[in-house]
Structure 1
C-alpha cells in the first residue's frame, strides 16, 4: 500500500521555508505534537500562506463576541455543506476540544438542526449556512432574526466572514486534495 500524500502539490521542506513561516510551523508542532497538513500545503505559496493565516487568526482567535467553540461550529457546518473532508475532520477536532464535548462535531457535521446546541447557536448556523449556500438570498429579516438572539453587528459580520473564509479554505482543500492528519480523528474524543 502506498503512503498517502499530504497534497497533490509539492510540500516544501520545513528548513527551506521563510523564517516567519518556519517559526510558525515549529510553534504549532510544539503545541499540538504535529503539523496540520493545511500549514504544510499552503506553505507551497508563502505569500498566500501569510494572507490566509492572517485572516484566519483575525476571525478565529479573537476574544469577545462569538465563543471560539461557536466559531468552530460555523466551520464544521459549512465545511460539511461543502463536502470538505479536511476541514470537517480538522475543525471537528478543534470543536470537540473547545466545546469540551466529544459528540458535538459529529452532530453538527451530519445535521446541525438535530445537534445538542442552543436555539441561539441554531440561528447562528442557519445564517452561516445561508451565506454558504445561497448568499444572494440574505435579507434584512436575517439580521433582525439574529438580533433577536442577541447577536450584534460585529457578531453577524463574524458569522458571515467565517462562512466566507472557509468557503475559500474548503475549495483550496479540494484543489490540493489535502489529506487530514491522522491525529485529528481521535482528538477531543477520549479522556487524556
Structure 2
C-alpha cells in the first residue's frame, strides 16, 4: 500500500507523476532525453542501462518496465536476454563496450565516487565515446532517483507481464509521458 494517497490504477511511477504533474513534466523530459535517442548509444542499450541499475536497486516496477522496453527494442520476445543481463551481464553476448558501460553504471548505482578512471579507460578502449560515458553515468544516476521515488512512496507494481509488454510497445511508439502511461492491471503491494 502506498505511503501517501495516490491515484488509483496508476502503478509504479505513474501514481506519483499523476499526484504531482508539476514534477512529472521535467522528469518525463529527462527520461525522454536520456532514453528516446540513438545518439551514441542505441535506445535498446540505454534501456538496458536503466534496467540494470533498477535491478541493482531492487526496484521491481522500474526493472520490469524498462526491461520490457529494452526487450521491445532488442527483439527479445521472451525477455531472456534482459534477464541474463540483470543476472550476470559479463556472461552475455553484449559487446565489450556495453559490458564496460554497465560496470560504470553499476558503480554509479553504489555511489558516483565509485566510478574509477580504470573503468572509464576500459570503456574507451572498447570504443565508448565521452558521450557514451556521460550518458551512461547520467542514466544510472537518474534511475537511482526514479527507483527511490517509486519505492520511497511504496507504489504498487502490476503482476501481469502483459501490462509491461503493452506499455513497452507504447513507449517505443510515443516515448514517456505521465498521462495514460499504464493500463489498469492487477497489482501487488
Which bracket does the TM-score occupy, shorter chain normalised?
0.7 to 0.9
The 5 Å alignment of 1:89-128 reads 89-101=64-76, 102=78, 103-128=80-105
For normalisation by structure 2, the TM-score amounts to 0.76
Which one of 164, 168, 175 corresponds to residue 145 of structure 2?
A: 168
Say whether 1:77 aligns with 2:52. yes
Q: Which residue of the partner structure matches residue 43 of structure 1?
A: 18
User: CA contact under 8 A between 2:49 and 2:139: conserved in structure 1?
Assistant: yes
User: CA contact under 8 A between 1:90 and 1:184: conserved in structure 2?
Assistant: no
Q: Secondary structure at the match of 1:65?
A: coil
- Larger radius of gyration between Structure 1 and Structure 2: 1
- Uncovered stretches (5+) of structure 2, i.e. residues with no partner: 167-189
Q: Which residue of the partner structure matches residue 135 of structure 1?
A: 112
Q: Which residue of the partner structure matches residue 24 of structure 1?
A: none
Deviation at 1:118, TM superposition (A): 2.1
User: CA contact under 8 A between 2:52 and 2:102: conserved in structure 1?
Assistant: yes
Q: Secondary structure at the match of 1:43?
A: helix
User: CA contact under 8 A between 2:11 and 2:155: conserved in structure 1?
Assistant: no
- Uncovered stretches (5+) of structure 1, i.e. residues with no partner: 14-33
User: CA contact under 8 A between 2:46 and 2:136: conserved in structure 1?
Assistant: yes
The 5 Å alignment of 1:51-62 reads 51-62=26-37
Q: Secondary structure at the match of 1:187?
A: helix
Kindly provide the CA deviation profile for residues 135-156 of structure 1, in whole angstroms up to 9, marking residues without a partner as x. Answer: 2132332222111111111111
RMSD: 2.3
Between the aligned partners of 1:40 and 1:184, the Cα distance in structure 2 is 19
Which one of 11, 19, 24 corresponds to residue 6 of structure 2?
A: 11
